[in-house]
Amino acid sequence: MGVLTNGLSDGHVAPAEPQLPRVPEIDPAAPLLFIINAASGRHDSDTTRQQIEAALRASGRTGELLFTHPDQLAQVAQQAAVTAFARHSAVVAVGGDGTINSVAQAAHAQGCVMGVLPQGTFNYFARTHGIPADAAQAAQVLLRCEPVPVQVGLINERVFLVNASLGLYPELLQDREAYKTRFGRSRVVAFAAALVTLLGQHRQLRLRIERGTHVRDLTTPTLFIGNNRLQLEQVGLAQASALDQGCLAGVMLRPIGALAMLWLLLRGSFGTLGEADTVESFQFHRMLVKPRLAWGGGRVKVAFDGEVNWMRAPLEFRVSPKPLYLIKPMTEDGATGRAGGGA
């Protein structure tokens, strides 16, 4: 297949850059709403509370700490986003990429400002936007910086910030979580879990993909959609530049065996995945994906930002017409960013 940059274009011609809605202002006197996933990351609740309270005291700001379990996270985030919008405040996600996704879903829908205190294993979203992994430093960003519009991807109206996928990648994530539960959270454990998954049996996806007027039937073990520059660049995919054009990056694999899959994993770890002739990458603004076989009654297992769920086909991947307003450092030239900058 090779790496494609033009042949699979969706025919989208970027219009003149639209006038973005005015970035919401934050009232410094309004309490920030911290949504804390008690089950996320390597930090216990008492340490997290102390770090946040110390940062608030040092800056003379106030905040409300909302500790929640994963099964209540979405509901708590929705309620907090409504409150933050009314108060001209912000919701702050404290956790890994999955926690950040749940809070972003609520903040994006409500149109309120969002902040991040990362506590996950990889923290792709936070790292891409210059938010430190250290809690004290991340709190300084949160309390000193201003909201900036950033690009959001949608899959059937569900927000994703880092990536979305179907096929092999969701299976890999499920196995990784099982290994983390048993052996702890670390990148070594994540890599070991990936090895076990890739060396196992893989079901091939038979898909029909529509992008603009281009329709294609194909078979692939996985379809991966990226919206994060750091992750794409780490594995060596040139399509990271698609984010600068207000697009998403797509990656597909030719059907291959377990050993070839292992070789791709190694290439990805060395940042040369895009050079493999079994990897096909492209960029798009909107794409419709339909299974050619009605597996699961039309329901498809999908992963987005580290979480796995079932969704009803067809699946529509697209760039959201409105950005997420994220508190992040300014760029070196003082620019405030743009919605097409990628997550």
d(CA 261, CA 295): 24
pLDDT of 336 higher than 50: no
> Confidence band (pLDDT; 50, 70, 90) for 16?
very low
What is the model's pLDDT at position 13? 45
Specify whether the CB–CB gap between 40 and 98 falls below 8 A.
Answer: yes
What is the model's pLDDT at position 2? 39
Specify whether the CB–CB gap between 171 and 204 falls below 8 A.
Answer: no
Coil, strand or helix at 15: coil
Q: What does the block give as tokens for 151?
A: 């690009």
Which residues are 98's β-sheet partners? none
259 vs 66, more confident: 66
Residue 237 DSSP label:
-
Of all residues in the chain, the percent with pLDDT exceeding 70 is 76
pTM over 0.85: no
256 vs 113, more confident: 113
What is the model's pLDDT at position 156? 95
What is the model's pLDDT at position 242? 87
Integer-rounded Cα radius of gyration of the chain: 20
Q: How far is CA 138 from each of CA 97, 100, 142, 229, rounded to the nearest angstrom? A: 15, 14, 6, 20
> Confidence band (pLDDT; 50, 70, 90) for 288?
very high
Task: Find the helix or strand (DSSP H, E) in which 159 lies.
Answer: strand 158-160
Q: What angle do CA 306, 308, 310 make, to 5 degrees?
A: 150
pLDDT of 195 higher than 50: yes
pLDDT of 325 higher than 60: yes
* Mean pLDDT along residues 70-96: 95
What is the identity of the amino acid at 338?
R
Q: Which of 290, 287, 284, 281 is nearest to 311 (CA)?
A: 290
Among left, alpha and beta (phi > 0; psi -120 to 50; other), residue 102 is: alpha
Return phi, psi of residue 27, to 5°: -80, 115
Q: What does the block give as tokens for 343?
A: 């997550």
> Confidence band (pLDDT; 50, 70, 90) for 98?
confident
Q: What does the block give as tokens for 146?
A: 């201003």
Specify whether the CB–CB gap between 20 and 293 falls below 8 A.
Answer: no
d(CA 187, CA 220): 27
* Mean pLDDT along residues 324-331: 88
pLDDT of 198 higher than 60: no
222 vs 186, more confident: 222
pLDDT of 309 higher than 50: yes
pLDDT of 335 higher than 70: no
What integer best gives the mean pLDDT of the chain?
82
Of all residues in the chain, the percent with pLDDT exceeding 90 is 48
pLDDT of 237 higher than 60: yes
> Confidence band (pLDDT; 50, 70, 90) for 226?
very high
What is the model's pLDDT at position 4? 38
Cis peptide before 314 (omega within 30 of 0): yes
Q: What does the block give as tokens for 104?
A: 């972003």
d(CA 9, CA 284): 6
d(CA 312, CA 204): 19
* Mean pLDDT along residues 76-82: 97
* Mean pLDDT along residues 254-268: 71
Specify whether the CB–CB gap between 19 and 50 falls below 8 A.
Answer: no
d(CA 259, CA 149): 42
What is the model's pLDDT at position 204? 85
What is the model's pLDDT at position 338? 37
What is the model's pLDDT at position 6? 38
> Confidence band (pLDDT; 50, 70, 90) for 52?
very high
Return phi, psi of residue 36, to 5°: -115, 115
> Confidence band (pLDDT; 50, 70, 90) for 9?
very low
What is the identity of the amino acid at 175?
D
